[in-house]
Amino acid sequence: MKRLAYILLTFVVSLPLAFAQPGADIQRILSQMPVQTAAELNTAVTQLAQAAPGSVLSLAAMLQSADKGANSPAEYALSALANFASDKNADINLRKAVKTGFQQAVAATADPTNKQFLQAQLRLLSPEKEKVPIYKSKNDKKVEKLWKKANPVGVVKALKSDDPAYRVTALRTADAFAGPVFYRQLEAAYPTLSEDAKAEIIYWLGLHKADSEADFILSQLDAPGQTGLNAVEAAGKIGGAEAAEQLVSMLNGPRAAAAYAALQRFNGDVRGTLKNAFKDASGKDLIPLMKLAAERRMSALAPDILKLAAADDAEVAAAARNALAGVVRSDQVNQLAKMLDGADEAAVKPLQAAFAKALAKSGAPERYSLINTALSAAKNKDRFYPALAGTDTENAVKDLAAAYENGSKSAFDALMTMSNAAAAPLLLKEGGKGNAAALTKALDLVAASRQPDAEKLAQYIEAAGLTKDSKTLVSIVNKFAAIPTPESFDAIVPYLDNADKSIAYAAANAAAGVAQKCAAQIDKAKIRTALTKASAILAATGDADDGYAVDAIRQFLSTL
């Protein structure tokens, strides 16, 4: 499953995806990867299925003939779609859309091997009683001819067909001669074509960033259906000042979502356009502008957005607070501190994020000083503890430990986010009270620290005495093994007799490893006794690798 997720991720880099299907922004879908779980993969494939049949056509268009390269990325993606849609619990409408996509893809594919692969996926989506012969289309020969010898006249003629697979394939073959001359031919034929064909052309022009067609594409922003949506996306890909202005003007219209997405990925700098629009906007019209300002890191708008964070309109104020982290400057730390201290509970998290961002460019000592200044005047000190922990200084550890001793749970939560080993003693103490998370965190801090091995070992031994949890003890024994000294060997040996097999097994491996690294410093009789036990523990598993380990121990003992 993870392999499939990775393949889909790498595939997106070269995927010039399909055309006229509503919502078929498949590059956006795949950009959400990498995924790490089956659930996340299921979500991604669901989105691809929702974009069918266009998504299937686009993936199929990337299949190459066997002599031109490997098809594993496209094949895995198509297989995932077919398996998903053929599941008995799959939504019937999604299944139909995916099936239609495979039918159209078979018709559009000339290469025999790839056609056979697509037919195999199509059979998965068909009931047993429904025979799936080699799929034939009246345009099969024309498709094959286009692939063999693509030409502008043939492509324009194909775009007049009512067969979407034929049209899509025609535009794919036109990649070879994309340029201003052919773009003008498309524009000339455009008025005579179907709405679907128009949508496909606009999308294709956007993929090629056909800047010579910028005015033509902008003229289609208000076109009906998918044509207009594709024009919005294409305008963002081509860029230019006029495109930026028109897209910004659409942010509060019926195609606001599409315009916003196009501006997010806009080919060029839109900051000047956004700044001018910000001056003229008011009320809720400011909300998308603030979001984009944050994404574009427009610090010049920080003062205006700070004011809007206290707006009477709750929705505008919330949007401003959420945008602050993307625009704030270091000279606004004190202003943000006052806002954070006096904010309603619902506003705390975005203001904490903004406060942390304003501090980010300062060094840790300076951040610590600025936060202390804010704390000295604050009524709600807990709100500043996450930023204090973010300095990762020993002084911050001391301050948070003192606050925790005075009853602040927020201070402890902040300590749990730190990477400074100075927090380990307090966390060990809490671990002794039954807080398993604190104990684990303490162990991680010690392991990552630059403390001498002897100090690390002492803290590991202390931690081992605070827990009976087998997983934690296995982790501690493994940490003993990372310190190959006679003292760590002595710490490991008692765990060879532990009733918990997982702990004894970890101790067996640890004892063998440490003994072989520092045998000269350990009493030979002690080694023989311990490793005899270790051999018995490893031999009892019956595992082949453990058998090799037993042989290695015997060989080592023979040298003592």
Q: In which residue are the tokens 């078979």 written? A: 106
pLDDT tens string 50-80: 888 888 888 888 776 655 544 455 676 787 7
Give residue 38's pLDDT.
Answer: 58
**pLDDT at res. 92:** 86
pLDDT over 70 at 4, yes or no? no
pLDDT, mean of residues 346-358: 95
Model pLDDT, residue 5: 42
Q: What is the pLDDT of residue 40?
A: 61
Confidence of residue 104 (pLDDT cuts 50, 70, 90): confident
CA 509 to chain centre: 37
d(CA 105, CA 499): 62
Which of 59-68, 127-136, 147-156, 169-178 comes out lowest in average pLDDT?
127-136
Which residues, 6+ apart, have CB-to-CB distance to 354 below 8 Å? 321, 324, 325, 328, 336
Alpha helices in 239-347 (DSSP H): 241-249, 256-264, 271-280, 286-295, 302-308, 314-327, 333-342
Q: Which residues of 21-48 are buried (b: 16+ CB within 10 A; e: fewer)?
A: beebbbbbbbeebebeeeeebeebbbbb
pLDDT at 7 over 50: no
Q: Which residues neighbour 312 within 8 Å (Cβ) at sequence distance 6 or greater?
A: none
Q: What is the pLDDT of residue 30?
A: 43
Query: pTM of the prediction?
Result: 0.67
pLDDT at 127: 67
Q: What is the pLDDT of residue 171?
A: 84
pLDDT at 527: 94
Average pLDDT, the chain: 86
Looking at residues 125-137, what average pLDDT do you find? 56
What pLDDT score does 73 carry?
59
At residue 65, the pLDDT reads 62
How large a percentage of the chain has pLDDT more than 90? 63
How far apart CA 210 and CA 238 sit, in angstroms, is 6
pLDDT at 120 (0 to 100): 74
Whether 467 and 431 have beta carbons less than 8 Å apart is answered as: yes
Question: Among the listed ranges 2-11, 304-313, 421-430, 488-497, which one has the minimum average pLDDT value?
Answer: 2-11
Q: What is the pLDDT of residues 106-125, one digit of tens each?
A: 888 877 778 877 887 887 78
Could you count the other beta carbons within 10 Å of the beta carbon of residue 281? 18
- The reported pLDDT for the residue numbered 256 is 93
Q: What is the pLDDT of residues 467-516, one digit of tens each?
A: 999 999 999 999 999 999 999 999 999 999 999 999 999 999 999 999 99
User: For position 110, what pLDDT does the model report?
Assistant: 73
Alpha carbon distance 89, 440 (integer Å): 41
Give 104-127 as a DSSP string.
Answer: HHHHH---HHHHHHHHHHHHHTS-
Q: What is the mean pLDDT of residues 8-14?
A: 38
The residue ranking higher by pLDDT, 147 or 497, is 497
Question: When comparing pLDDT for 17 and 462, which is higher?
Answer: 462
pLDDT for the residue 250: 95
pLDDT value at residue 21: 44
More confident residue, 411 or 168: 411
Local structure of residue 223 (DSSP, 8 states): -
Taking only the tens place, the pLDDT of each residue in 219-262 is 999 999 889 999 999 999 999 999 999 999 999 999 999 999 99
Residue 342 has pLDDT above 90, yes or no: yes
- What DSSP state is assigned to residue 66? G
Q: How far is the C-alpha of 151 from the C-alpha of 59, rounded, in Å?
A: 23
Does residue 84 surpass a pLDDT of 50?
Answer: yes
The larger pLDDT score, comparing residue 110 to residue 445, is at 445
Q: What is the pLDDT of residue 415?
A: 96
pLDDT-derived band at 293 (thresholds 50, 70, 90) equals very high
Distance in angstroms (rounded) separating the CA atoms of residues 515 and 9 = 45
* The two three-digit tokens of residue 196, written as one number: 């679907």
Reported as half-sphere exposure (CB side, CA atoms, 13 A), residue 111 has a value of 15
By percentage, how much of the chain surpasses pLDDT 70? Answer: 87
pLDDT in tens, 26-35: 444 444 444 4
* Full DSSP string of 373-430: HHHHH-S-GGGGHHHHHHT--HHHHHHHHHHHHTT-HHHHHHHTT---GGGHHHHHHH
The pLDDT value recorded for residue 497 is 95
